[in-house]
Structure 1
Amino acid sequence: MLDGGGRIDALGATLFRMMLDAASGRATRSELHGYGQNEFVPWQIGAIT
């Protein structure tokens, strides 16, 4: 997608299928690599000293 290859409708269909898979219970890449829901955290988890 980032390299400019592919048509916008085909890329949109691919993204939609990926979202449906994740919503249906298929593990996402972040879950497979052990990040889970902590992949993006804009603030510090826990107490800051």
Structure 2
Amino acid sequence: MPGLLINNIVRFILLILMQVLVFNHLNLGGYLNPSVYVLFILLLPN
């Protein structure tokens, strides 16, 4: 169980870093910004 918690924390940190460093600078069509951190919520176990 602690391994699962650590995996989720690392996944959350990596997704936030990707959002800040990569995806905030990526504009699709001039006005759309992809939000990758929402993926963390979808990947959480039930």
TM-score (norm 1): 0.39
> Which structure has the greater CA radius of gyration?
1
TM-score (norm 2): 0.42
Instruction: Name the structure where helix makes up a greater proportion of residues.
Output: 2
- Structure with the bigger RCO (C-alpha within 8 Å, sep 6+) is 2
